[in-house]
Structure 1
């Protein structure tokens, strides 16, 4: 299978809506999934960081995977997030989670432990040897505390056929260009930074796994498609319109920003599990004002 074609474009890192009692709000999640698919997102990602996975139990994660499959109903591919800092535990998850309908697994590099580059390599080697699905690496040093170097990414790309790509969210354009320059031809390279997606695609990236595409899927996905068609003049016009939204989404915390947007749009209730809290009053008002101007 050509995963560079299957997962090209805009993937949406889905939020996990909650009710006031902090139970998962499945009807709200159904609304979000339908909204992003109907507005042209190419695929969805469940159990990403935007889904508040550190606060979800194993049973809740399994329930979310199965629910996502049922609502997506094969309309678009589904990628499942399985990452963490306990390699042995992740191996068990890969062996037991319901991955039968997943196109791939997105796996963030280990956080908090701060392993060496060799430790990161050995971690992914252990996952690749047992995973029933292809793995997309996820480098997000702002959350993990350790950057995965271009050299480590390329080593993994060459050594394991079922490591098919990377979500590169270091924010380092030079590192991204090093990966793009030397990667295997079929290796998928995705942005993990909404605000950098346009210049990164100009460098050769295949698309993005996005946060803003939860709430602005049509405009953002079109910007991505135009970029992939090398129509950067038209893509820039759309991107310029979203610059303020990028700032609002990430000013305090993800997913507090995108949940504020979705709540104002009537798709979810604005609840997050601790230790993440909703946007401050002033920033939430700025979100409301921005959405009013769009109307």
Structure 2
């Protein structure tokens, strides 16, 4: 008998913050700061936590480090909110290992990215995700981000996966094609979980029936991002719209360079972390850092530096 995923689908709503992976000056993972970032999220009303997704620099981490980050997150969250680690890779065996690990540590779901660099065709993508889904009992949220993977998961492919794999329960769409995301719910059903990974589409996706967002901006202003979702789900459309536009300037500046470099710069200015990235990523230009600082000041965010 197939497992009933309705309970976890009901829980996976709202702002799921993709927490960054902080590094020390020597480029080792700073697990103490990482735990503090998670607590910062929970104190500000975030509805869920994701790690080792795009904002967590997974391609800069070893597989062992990704497992350590996942384990630390699970221990820190301790069931207080849903936990959805990113477990995908361009390598199939790594994806299998990490997805099974997420199940072992009690994650609520695993977020599996469309394999990047390889550019598999739609038939291969179907086979990849079905094989991963069939190997575990944990719910799967597919992560479609064509700008990073150079391949778009077609709606028909996603719909077939949803039909054939009961534990594929949703998708994070970092997809600027709003016609595409509308058709996801048309083809997959209104109970399929649709999350926005594009900051300016977080509110519009709620309006068409989306479940929430996985927004890098929530690393910096978790309270406001969560409040926008709360307002929408409470039927306060005016407040939700107001917060959508309030967040727009911050959203814009945090994506003037490749994520998560601007987010880490902002968190460094806030005294949360050392704004260190591993090569080939690097810190934003001095000009952009100045713009980030000015934007944070506009939002009334206290700056103290780590």
- The match for 1:42 is 47
Q: 1:245 aligns with which of 225, 237, 250?
A: 250
The alpha carbon displacement at 1:66 in A equals: 1.3
Aligned to 1:13: 18
Partner of 1:163: 168
**Distance (whole Å) between structure 2 residues aligned to residue 73 and residue 125 of structure 1:** 29
SS at match of 2:259: coil
Alignment of 1:217-256 (within 5 A): 217-256=222-261
The residue number in structure 2 matching 1:272 is: 277
List runs of 5+ in structure 1 lacking aligned partners.
none
Matched, 1:4 2:9: yes
Give the direction of change, closer, same or farther, for the CA distance of 1:71–1:101 in structure 2 (3 Å limit).
same
Q: Distance in 1 between the 2:196 and 2:102 partners?
A: 26
Residue among 62, 67, 72 paired with 2:72: 67
When structure 1 is superposed on structure 2, of 186-195 and 142-151 the one drifting more is 186-195
Q: Is the Cα contact below 8 Å between 1:111 and 1:145 reproduced in 2? A: yes
Alignment RMSD (CA, Å):
1.4
Query: 1:57 aligns to what?
Result: 62
CA distance in 2, matches of 1:143, 1:229: 34
Q: Which has the higher contact order (CA 8 A, sep 6+)?
A: 1
CA apart distance, 1:254:
0.2
Kindly indicate whether the alpha-carbon contact (under 8 Å) linking 2:174 and 2:198 is maintained by their aligned counterparts in 1. Answer: yes
Q: Specify every segment of 5 or more residues in structure 2 that has no aligned partner in the other structure, as ranges.
A: 301-306
What are the superposed Cα offsets for residues 13-72 of structure 1, whole Å, 9 maximum, x if unpaired? Answer: 010000110001112111210011110001100111110000111221121111111211
CA contact (8 A) 1:252 1:279 kept: yes
- Decide whether aligned partners of structure 1 residues 97 and 198 sit closer, same or farther in structure 2, where only a CA change above 3 A counts: closer
Alignment of 1:17-166 (within 5 A): 17-96=22-101, 99-166=104-171
1:203 aligned onto 2:208: yes
Q: 1:93 to 1:27 in 2, by over 3 A?
A: closer
Q: Is contact 2:103–2:136 with CA below 8 Å preserved after alignment?
A: no
Q: Following the alignment from structure 1 to structure 2, what is the Cα–Cα distance between the partners of residues 99 and 14?
A: 21
SS at match of 2:254: helix
1:178 to 183, 189, 193: 183
- TM-score (norm: length of structure 1): 0.96
Deviation at 1:97, TM superposition (A): 5.6
Q: Deviation per CA, 1:210-245: give whole Å up to 9, x if none.
A: 111111000111112222344332112112111111
Paired residues in the alignment total 295
